[in-house]
Structure 1
Amino acid sequence: MTTTPAAAPSAAPTTPPRPPRPLLDVRRIYLEPEAAELPRGQQVLARWPDAERVEVASHWQIPELAGDEANVRRWVRIKTEALVLGVKKSLTARRNGRSSDWIAPSTANGCAMACAYCYVPRRKGYSNPVTVFANIDQITGYLARHVRRQGPKTEPDQVDPSAWVYDIGENSDCSVDARLSDNVHDLVDLFRGLPTAKASFATKHVNRDLLGWDPQGRTRVRFSLMPHEAARLLDVRTDPVATRMAAVDDFVAAGYEVHVNLSPVVVQDGWLQAWDELLVQLDDTTGPAFKAQAAAEVIMLTHNAGLHEVNLGWHPKAEDVLWRPDLQQAKRSETGGINVRYRTGDKGRYVAQLLERVEHRTPWLRVRYAF
């Protein structure tokens, strides 16, 4: 008797993977009426024509964005869907001396990315979507006058041997800001024409639109790097570290001065070996043009009790490595806040260990400062 083979079991239905949430999908714009009347404000509104518009008295005082603990559960959604349009009221350049000589007045505040250690949420409450400042002409005018008042830099320092360096992205990521408005492009254009100064910003996002801006060496891009596994946990919604490294040579070729930030350095099991592997990859990935002008900043983790509580509401796994009372101590910051940092003595030892790895694996990489 001939038997018919049993039919093979049908494969279980599969659920297609959920597409990644876009970095920006602006659906609501909170705006100061004054900002909406300026050309840059109109540009932003035109870029997101279907977004709901909500007038506010102040970009700093939006109760449904800041100060509401319930927003912790919607942290990433708010960053993706909300945008604030305001006017920068205080135009001052603040002395720095580490990453830059001066901190420029912000043209944006907040970020669409969500790094678990970011200090900006400490100041803005439970959510920090991007705020774009529309009075860009006032900001660039102030900066041009400030640069002229400094005159030439007559004494080299660790920031730069001959130029006054202005950090234009202290409170945001300029590569992301450039997807929202032309503010960053205007700043790159400004510093191209200032022979005694340079712009500078750190970034975790590769925006290749910047490659066509012809900075002529007057803008320094600092790609932030950390070991891959740590970045997967802590650098939420950022470009992969390998993607950032792969962009370095292209930005050098496009006329940018390119440095790297080795930050934040997070102490955990196997951290030194992970940094060693990252440095080997940086050496293998980048070419001689980058290495001839490269420099680095090494920045140890600083954390904060308030941010710790926020993170517990949306990303508690990050706190397993960020909040380490067994390794950390309280310390008052330069701005008066109470943060936690690695213990005195131990921190110096950690820095020295990492610098030894830098010297061994990337002897061409000059460390401008480490703290």
Structure 2
Amino acid sequence: MTRSPLDIRHIYLEPGVENYARGREILARFPEAERTEVPSHWNIPGLHGNAGLVKDWVRIKRQVLVLGVRKTFTLRENGRSADWIAPGLANGCALACAYCYVPRRKGFANPITTFVNIEDAVKALRRHAEKLGPKTEPNQVDPHLWVYDIGENSDLSVDAMLSDNVRDLVALYRTLPNAKASFATKYVNRELLEYDPQGKTRIRFSLMPRPIARVLDVRTSPIRERIAAINDFVEAGYEVHLNFSPVVIYEGWTADYTELLREVRDSLSDKARVQLAAEVIFLTHNAALHEVNLGWHPKAEKLLWRPAWQENKRSEYGGENIRYRHGFKGKAVARFTELLARELPECRVRYAF
């Protein structure tokens, strides 16, 4: 079993956090933690934007927690992982995956920020789903229900160790007749098996070959543990999909993915097999994150930063990122989907890019 990634010793909190029951509950979980009140969870002097903290990247993730009150609850259309991206009740992560896009926005420190106004989030999400009404046309996301990604900027399996926010969201979607929740995770938290999702939450276990997971998926559950959890989560009432993200290209990558897919194939129960699907997302990197990683984990950049294979890309939100070159990537995507069809033919590919 993976050791807990959390050892909270310092909590930064916005004014008003203690006015919410969830805020008081979280603070009560960590009575020995030092507390510092800050004007905003987005601007903490000495934490965000402090280049000197990059050497403490992992320690900060393990020991620091930020509590805030979410002000807006805007939903975004998606069409890939979900129909809608829900406003998250957390951002940042105690895990330390070297390719994660979330720290690009903060710089040099990326602990979990948890929002305590769960009631406001539940009301906004319920109102949105009720306004949508039934899903009348099937799509690759889901043939029958509107799917909401509730964990875009954090790992909810870890967030659930801090509060009941995740349990409350699973309970919400259990009651919505036209919608289901979805989130990707790299951490096996078996307490989630008790949440009784009744088929209304899709959990996407992220997988990559062990040789590179040991380098890139820092502080996550081992790949073997994630694969072993699939059957148990299906039995507990979750829809379980696979999330091959990011797919990283390196010498020998197809042989390693072949071994991974065969391990998944050999471990699946019949019940897990018939409901299986996957999303495939090749690596997108970023020059700023490259610089951060060089400060704490340069070994990862030998896999992630391959200029001969990569080109600049402007993201849909206006940022400058790095992706595999157009023709090179197209051939790699085709190769991966061929591997998946050969080694795990029962696994439907929802999308690949």
Q: Which TM bucket (shorter chain)? A: over 0.9
Residue 71 of structure 1 and its aligned partner are, at CA, apart by 0.8
Matched with 2:117 is 135
Three-state SS of the structure 2 residue aligned to 1:30 is strand
* CA–CA separation in structure 2 for the residues paired with 1:324 and 1:112: 27
Q: Which runs of 5+ in 1 are unaligned?
A: 1-19
AA aligned to 1:80 is R
Structure 1 residue 33 and structure 2 residue 9: aligned?
Answer: no
Distance 1:347 1:220, change over 3 A: same
Three-state SS of the structure 2 residue aligned to 1:326 is helix
Q: Work out which of the residue numbers 176, 184, 187 in structure 2 matches 1:205.
A: 187
Q: Work out which of the residue numbers 29, 36, 45 in structure 2 matches 1:63.
A: 45
Structure 1 residue 86 and structure 2 residue 68: aligned?
Answer: yes
TM-score, normalised to structure 2, is 0.99
Structure 1 residue 356 and structure 2 residue 338: aligned?
Answer: yes
Residue 195 of structure 1 and its aligned partner are, at CA, apart by 1.2
Three-state SS of the structure 2 residue aligned to 1:223 is strand
Matched with 1:119 is 101
Residue 165 of structure 1 contacts residue 199 of structure 1 at CA under 8 Å; is this kept in 2? yes
Matched with 1:17 is none
* CA–CA separation in structure 2 for the residues paired with 1:157 and 1:199: 16
Three-state SS of the structure 2 residue aligned to 1:279 is helix
| Structure 1 vs Structure 2 CA RMSD | 0.9
Residue 263 of structure 1 and its aligned partner are, at CA, apart by 1.4
Identity among equivalent positions (%) equals: 62
Residue 36 of structure 1 and its aligned partner are, at CA, apart by 2.0
* CA–CA separation in structure 2 for the residues paired with 1:112 and 1:21: 12
Three-state SS of the structure 1 residue aligned to 2:35 is strand
Residue 122 of structure 1 contacts residue 307 of structure 1 at CA under 8 Å; is this kept in 2? yes
* CA–CA separation in structure 2 for the residues paired with 1:119 and 1:46: 31
* CA–CA separation in structure 2 for the residues paired with 1:241 and 1:22: 16
Residue 193 of structure 1 and its aligned partner are, at CA, apart by 0.2
AA aligned to 2:267 is T
1:301-329 Cα offsets, whole Å, 9 max, x none, are 00000000000000001000100100000
Residue 235 of structure 1 and its aligned partner are, at CA, apart by 0.2
AA aligned to 1:85 is L
**1:36-185 correspondence runs (5 A):** 36-185=18-167
* CA–CA separation in structure 2 for the residues paired with 1:312 and 1:45: 34
* CA–CA separation in structure 2 for the residues paired with 1:286 and 1:354: 20
Residue 191 of structure 1 and its aligned partner are, at CA, apart by 0.1
Residue 175 of structure 1 contacts residue 207 of structure 1 at CA under 8 Å; is this kept in 2? yes
Matched with 1:6 is none
Structure 1 residue 306 and structure 2 residue 291: aligned?
Answer: no
Structure 1 residue 278 and structure 2 residue 260: aligned?
Answer: yes
Three-state SS of the structure 2 residue aligned to 1:217 is coil
Residue 286 of structure 1 and its aligned partner are, at CA, apart by 1.1
Q: Which runs of 5+ in 2 are unaligned?
A: none
Three-state SS of the structure 1 residue aligned to 2:196 is coil
1:107-146 Cα offsets, whole Å, 9 max, x none, are 0110000000000000111111001100000001000000
Three-state SS of the structure 2 residue aligned to 1:298 is strand
1:229-284 Cα offsets, whole Å, 9 max, x none, are 11000000000011000000000000000001011111100000000000000000
* CA–CA separation in structure 1 for the residues paired with 2:284 and 2:102: 12
Residue 90 of structure 1 and its aligned partner are, at CA, apart by 1.3
Q: Work out which of the residue numbers 227, 246, 266 in structure 2 matches 1:245.
A: 227
Three-state SS of the structure 2 residue aligned to 1:154 is coil
Residue 358 of structure 1 and its aligned partner are, at CA, apart by 0.4
Three-state SS of the structure 1 residue aligned to 2:326 is coil
* CA–CA separation in structure 2 for the residues paired with 1:294 and 1:53: 44
Residue 87 of structure 1 contacts residue 134 of structure 1 at CA under 8 Å; is this kept in 2? yes
1:187-226 Cα offsets, whole Å, 9 max, x none, are 0000000010000000000000010111000000000000
* CA–CA separation in structure 2 for the residues paired with 1:46 and 1:280: 45
Structure 1 residue 258 and structure 2 residue 240: aligned?
Answer: yes
AA aligned to 2:10 is R
Moved segments of 4+, more than 4 Å: none
Residue 308 of structure 1 contacts residue 319 of structure 1 at CA under 8 Å; is this kept in 2? yes
Residue 33 of structure 1 and its aligned partner are, at CA, apart by 2.0
